[in-house]
Amino acid sequence: MKLVALSGGIASGKSTVARRLAELGAVHVDADQLAREAVAPGSDGLQQIAARFGEGVITDEGALDRPALGQLVFENAEALNALNGIVHPEVRKLAQARLDAAEAADPKAIVIYDVPLLVEAGVQMPWDLVVITEAPADVRIKRMVELRGMSAEDAQRRIANQASDAERRAIADVVIDTRGDEAFTIAQADKLWASLQRE
């Protein structure tokens, strides 16, 4: 099995690359989806959050009340660290289960682990390759404004709160330039897939 980390800043084309690699045959594991599963109703993660932060962060339906939890951890480093200390190990367990299942199904599987905060969270796994998607800040801001309905100020703030391009490049084995149109990005994803199959 080959384990490939895929990361990049907000609106840098990471989802397009992940989708294309999955179409070509990669097993796609999405860290954001795992983070949602880690705190789903009935999960160990949600029980730990309720024990640490109180029943006020659980809705009447038994789900996580994200706005309520957000108020508790916003600008409170100790609370945020406690939350991360619950969620990150749960995500790691779920990720390992996905990787084990992929390898059991196909020992030659190519797994793309889509990790938006690879640099920020310091995610350590036995990566065979680290792929970073990258586009200039002005291109990413335009995408966020046009495709996500954000204000330019909010978009700039999101970018500023993430790792820099230089920090991502420092851990990258491959950088996919996504400043062009979708076809330009997909062509690079196709080239990456061909090289992963050759190795």
Q: Six-digit token pair at 166?
A: 């230089």
- What residue has token string 């969620």? 87
Tell me, rounded to whole angstroms, the distance of Cα 97 from its chain centroid. 17
How many domains, in total, are found in the chain? 1
Q: Six-digit token pair at 11?
A: 């609106």
Write down the pLDDT at residue 176.
97
For the CA atoms of 98, 117, 127, 40, what is the dihedral angle to 10 degrees? -10
Instruction: Say how far apart CA 193 and CA 190 lie, in whole Å.
Output: 5
pLDDT per residue over 69-112, tens digit each?
988 988 888 998 999 899 989 999 999 999 999 999 999 999 99
Q: How far is CA 192 from CA 26, 73, 132, 161, in A?
A: 11, 39, 12, 29
pLDDT per residue over 144-170, tens digit each?
999 899 999 999 998 998 999 999 999
CATH number for position 41: 3.40.50.300
Domain containing residue 147? 2-198
What one-character DSSP code corresponds to residue 123? Answer: -
pTM of the model: 0.88
Mean pLDDT across 54-78: 91
